[in-house]
Homo-oligomer: A and B are copies of this chain.
Amino acid sequence: MANQLDAIFSALGDPTRRAVLERLTDEPAAVSDLHGPHNMALPTFLRHLKVLEQAGLVRTHKTGRVRMVHIEADPLAQAETWLQQQRSLWNGRLDRLDALVQQEKDVKT
């Protein structure tokens, strides 16, 4: 995937993965704990985790036989920034439209 944003947004485009992130905003958790509520085989679930990890959205470290997973705020912020930029450009456009309308009004009076 070319862009970092590709990986981030793609990762977010799956309900299982978003649910994992939602859970992780609360506190870090072990792989099995995260797996618990999701009705799928563990290896399948593990691959979702790997997608999140490769997008940089979570990090993990293993101690003993337990792997702990914690959320990483930065990539979420990146995604948010892109969206905000779109909105601000969009708003800028609306402002310019507004200005045009004003101009029209001014001409007519």
Question: Which A residues form the contact surface with B (CB < 8 A)?
Answer: 2-3, 5-15, 18, 21-22, 25-27, 71, 73, 76-77, 79-80, 82-84, 86-87, 89-90, 93
Would A93 and B6 be within 8 Å (CB), given that A76-B86, A80-B83 are in contact?
A: no
Instruction: Report how many copies the assembly holds.
Output: 2
Report the minimum CB–CB distance from A72 to chain B (whole Å).
Answer: 10
Please determine whether A5 and B18 come into contact, CB atoms closer than 8 angstroms. Answer: yes
- Per the bound structure, the CA–CA distance linking A15 and B5 in Å amounts to 8
User: Is the Cβ of B15 less than 8 Å from the Cβ of A6?
Assistant: yes
Checking B11, B79, B87 against A83 with a beta-carbon cut-off of 8 angstroms, the contacting residue is B79
Question: Which residue in chain B gives the minimum CB-CB distance to A8?
Answer: B13
Q: A14 contacts B6, CB within 8 Å? A: yes
* Besides A25-B86, A76-B87, A80-B84, 13 other A-B contacts (C-beta < 8 A): A3-B15, A5-B13, A9-B9, A9-B10, A9-B18, A12-B13, A18-B82, A25-B89, A26-B89, A27-B93, A71-B90, A76-B83, A80-B87
